[in-house]
Homo-oligomer: A and B are copies of this chain.
Amino acid sequence: MGTGALGGFYGARLCRAGCDVHFLLHSDFEHVRQHGLVVDSKDGDFVLPRVQAYRDVRDMPRCDVVAVALKATNNHLLPSLLPPVLAEGGVVLLMQNGLGGEEEAARAAPGHTVLAGLCFLCSNRVGPGHICHSDYGAVRFAQYAANRAVAGVSDSMRAIGQDFAAAGIEVDLLEDLLLARWQKLVWNVPISGLSVVLNADTRELMADPHTRDLAEDIMREVVAGARSCGRHIDDSFVRKMLDMTVAMKPYRASLKVDFDDHRPMEVEAIYGNPLRAAQQAGAHMPLVETLYRQLKFLDARNCGMRA
């Protein structure tokens, strides 16, 4: 569901590897139905001239795995999107940023297993059905369990992981979803937010000592937030994230891409939900809250400016 920079990339790779993939599309439906998908990738370009494309879930077959690659800002649609396409015993695979999406998916698909796929991917949709994959690509799988429990590695995780691995994707199977989510936030919260507020890419943010220090302090706050939710992230992880950001090609985070294109930003998923989770656990994240408020202001004005 959602055939953009992320869903289109992984879907096309699975499809090319022989999986039976059905693509749900919105604005690109007509184009993709006629011309298929084009993937320019650092791992090798390829074209799928014909794919199984749908505009409406009611036209789709029931599926064993429903990969949700919508923006988290569209999660209010899950109750109407998921039930019609989930086969009995079918699994929801949520491939989104931020915190709280699995709860929404679990509520929308009661009785179904919910997995998360945390994607470390630099890709962009450069035109209808046209994806440019510039860097990385690994997916870390973890299973959702209610009440912040650790679900461990399940058979469906293994099976889906094998499909992705067969498609040439680097795969990791994790015991603890919540830990993985918070780890990803350590990078995402400071870098995505500052890139929007300051209109800057990763290289600029790391080159200036003030924003580098600010990013580091925000990372440490996120680590403290994780701790309040019972998840330990080592101090060395912050160092590792900073070094990685310095080393990476200048990159425009997906939050920034959405902002630049006047689309709603995933502010609640990446900022609001972690803030509330930490707050409920008695932890205070003043720097994250500052970014949250700045982004809420910019998001409201930005969406008002949409054509």
Q: Residue-by-residue, is A274-302 near B (CB-CB < 8 Å gives 1, otherwise 0)?
A: 00000000000011001011101110110
Does chain B have a CB within 8 A of A197?
yes
Inter-chain CA distance A300–B200, complex, in Å, is 13
Binding site for B on A (CB under 8 A): 194, 197-198, 200, 204-205, 208, 210-211, 213-214, 217, 286-287, 290, 292-294, 296-298, 300-301
Inter-chain CA distance A211–B294, complex, in Å, is 7
Q: Is the CB of B198 within 8 A of A298?
A: yes
Please give the distance in Å from A262's CB to the nearest CB on chain B: 15
Q: Is the CB of A200 within 8 A of B297?
A: yes
For residue A208, which residues in chain B have a CB less than 8 angstroms away from its CB?
296-297, 300
Q: Is the CB of A293 within 8 A of B197?
A: no
| Extra pairs beyond A210-B294, A213-B293 (16, CB < 8 Å) | A194-B294, A198-B294, A198-B298, A200-B297, A208-B296, A210-B292, A210-B293, A210-B297, A211-B293, A211-B297, A214-B293, A214-B294, A286-B286, A286-B287, A287-B287, A290-B290
Number of copies: 2
Inter-chain CA distance A214–B301, complex, in Å, is 17
Closest B residue to A215 by CB, please name it. Answer: B293
Inter-chain CA distance A287–B300, complex, in Å, is 22
Please give the distance in Å from A254's CB to the nearest CB on chain B: 21
Taking a contact as CB atoms closer than 8 A, the residue among B205, B290, B298, B300 that contacts A214 in the complex is: B290
For residue A290, which residues in chain B have a CB less than 8 angstroms away from its CB?
214, 287, 290
Closest B residue to A291 by CB, please name it. Answer: B290
Inter-chain CA distance A287–B218, complex, in Å, is 11
Inter-chain CA distance A165–B233, complex, in Å, is 62
Most B C-beta atoms less than 10 A away, residue of A211, A290, A296? A290
**A204 in contact with B301 given A197-B197, A286-B286 (CB within 8 Å):** yes
